[in-house]
Amino acid sequence: MSLCQLQRKHHAFAVVAFTGDDSEDESVEAVPVSWLTPEKSHCYWPPFTQPAKVRKVIAGEMLPMPDWKKYDAGSKQLAEKSTDN
């Protein structure tokens, strides 16, 4: 009989408010905390236009790439989720 050990993974996300030039133009998204700058004042965003591809890189917690744009990150709330694998 073999024993399988479950590995616990921690997923950390931030809820970020992105604001445009118009104060009424605001969108909110949960992103991996790795997308925030160290001072947490800006957030990197992928260049993809397809929502399904953006959701996939968020869910996969892909690290920001050099071609990603950096945007002002408004109010943020950090969240952490643990899962067993």
pLDDT tens profile 20-43: 665 566 788 999 999 999 988 899
Is 3 part of any domain? no
Is 54 part of any domain? yes
Residues of the chain with pLDDT under 50: 1-8
pLDDT of residue 81: 56
Counted domains in the chain: 1
How far apart are the C-alpha atoms of 47 and 37, rounded to whole Å? 17
pLDDT of residue 20: 66
How far is CA 31 from its chain centroid? 2
Question: How far lies 59's CA from each of 22, 49, 55, in Å?
Answer: 29, 16, 6
Query: Domain span at residue 69?
Result: 9-84
Is 2 part of any domain? no
Helix (H) or strand (E) holding 44: strand 42-45
Is 4 part of any domain? no
